[in-house]
Amino acid sequence: DDWADYWQHWSEEWRDRAERATATLADATEEIHTLRERNAHWQELHAERTRQLLAKNYWIIDHNVRRRAGK
């Protein structure tokens, strides 16, 4: 009977640990997905800002070249 109680206790303990680990893993997975989405959003914003700055710089260079050339 002691062995049955022992095994019962530890089977419940390990089931509880497995449930907690599964919940922790689910939370971590959700956080990873959130961070990936946020990262993708920031990459899009950065790419757009870079495009805008390049366009502005090219316009300034073109304007200065034309001005110096007297066009």
pLDDT tens per residue across span 15-53: 999 999 999 999 999 999 999 999 999 999 999 999 999
- CB-side neighbour CA atoms (13 Å) of 46: 6
71: pLDDT strictly greater than 80: no
Q: What is the CA radius of gyration of the chain?
A: 30
Q: What's the token pair of residue 70?
A: 């007297």
pLDDT of residue 12: 97
Confidence class of residue 1 from pLDDT cuts 50, 70 and 90?
A: confident
68: pLDDT strictly greater than 90: yes
